[in-house]
Amino acid sequence: MPVRQIFSFIVYVLRTGCQWKALPKEFGSASAIHKHFQQWHRAGFFLALWRSGLAEYNDLEGIAWDWQSIDGAMVKAPLALTCVGPNPTDRGRNGRMRSLLVDGRGVPLALVASGANVHDVKLLAATVDQVVRTRPVAKARNPQYLCADAGYKGAPARQAAKRRDYRSHI
């Protein structure tokens, strides 16, 4: 099967959220496609793709570093084996917390996953530190603002943001 076709089937799973075994039969062997996904993931292909996509976006539009936003979301993960924890909003069933940092236009800059029992504020530093592109140094005349909701309220979040040269807006 051509590599481009395998990639399009992987994108189908990632976009729709369907299980690998639920791929349409006309796609071919779901296990073979999943095997390619695992191999490419281990090889760092998707991270490299994200980085090169951000580089091209930066060349065309420019990453909006001046205003960035961070937020977390809990999702169900009943079959997950890693990065899971008891979800406090789903009777303790397995869940994940995804923490996402975006630029001023909503372009994803960093993503961190953990167990659902980890609070947003505890993922702030890890998420900001995982930016897949080199972040420019914030200066007095060119500050960078970090916007967050009330889940990040308090001294730990403000201090973590300040240590990373952000001006926080909670």
Q: Which of 8-22, 65-79, 132-146 has the lowest mean pLDDT?
A: 65-79
Q: Give the tens place of pLDDT for each residue, 85-132.
A: 665 666 667 777 889 999 999 999 999 988 877 888 899 999 999 999
pLDDT at 88: 63
What would the two tokens of residue 30 be?
């779901």
pLDDT at 120: 86
Q: Which fold has domain 63-169?
A: Nucleotidyltransferase; domain 5 (3.30.420)
pLDDT at 138: 87
- For the chain, give every residue range classified as CATH 3.30.420: 63-169
Q: How far apart are alpha carbons 20 and 32 in whole angstroms?
A: 10
Q: Give the tens place of pLDDT for each residue, 88-97.
A: 666 667 777 8
